[in-house]
Amino acid sequence: GESVGLHLPTLSVQEGDNSIINCAYSNSASDYFIWYKQESGKGPQFIIDIRSNMDKRQGQRVTVLLNKTVKHLSLQIAATQPGDSAVYFCAETVSGNTGKLIFGQGTTLQVKP
């Protein structure tokens, strides 16, 4: 069946270092992926998205990489800051399932000063 999962539940990095958060998905038919950031007590916030016809997309300090061969998605955060501390979710659309995003369980990013 289809699933979206994150490789590590918690990632701890030093302030200023780069962070890489990983996500695996099982449905090769998925064609749209989103990364969300959720701070404590708040709703998920859109970070960046990527379509299946792309391998890489860059935003401000963030880059998403998509490897369709191994069904792997990653979020790279450059020069991680304390404000980046949050739970990060990847989500995918499932082909044929109208309007439904499938979310992973989330990775907690802890930034040490």
Partner 1 sequence: NAGVTQTPKFRVLKTGQSMTLLCAQDMNHEYMYWYRQDPGMGLRLIHYSVGEGTTAKGEVPDGYNVSRLKKQNFLLGLESAAPSQTSVYFCASSYSLAGGETQYFGPGTRLLVL
The residues pairing with 45 across neighbouring beta strands, listed in sequence order, are 37
Find all residues with CB under 8 Å of 92, minimum gap 6, and list them: 2, 4, 25, 27, 30, 32, 33, 34, 101, 102
Smallest gap from Cβ 69 to partner 1, in A, equals 21
Sort residue 41 into left (φ over 0), alpha (ψ -120 to 50) or beta: left
Nearer to partner 1, 32 or 76 (CB): 32
Question: Measuring CA to CA, how many Å separate 5 from each of 9, 33, 65, 106?
Answer: 10, 13, 15, 8
Part in contact with partner 1 (CB under 8 A); list of ranges 19-27, 57-65, 68-76, 100-108: 100-108
Size, binding site for partner 1 by CB under 8 A: 22
Among 74, 101, 108, 110, binds partner 1 (CB under 8 A): 101
With binding defined as CB under 8 A, does residue 1 bind partner 1? no
With binding defined as CB under 8 A, does residue 98 bind partner 1? yes
Give residues in contact with partner 1 (CB under 8 A). 31-32, 34, 36, 41-46, 49, 89, 91, 93, 98-101, 103-106
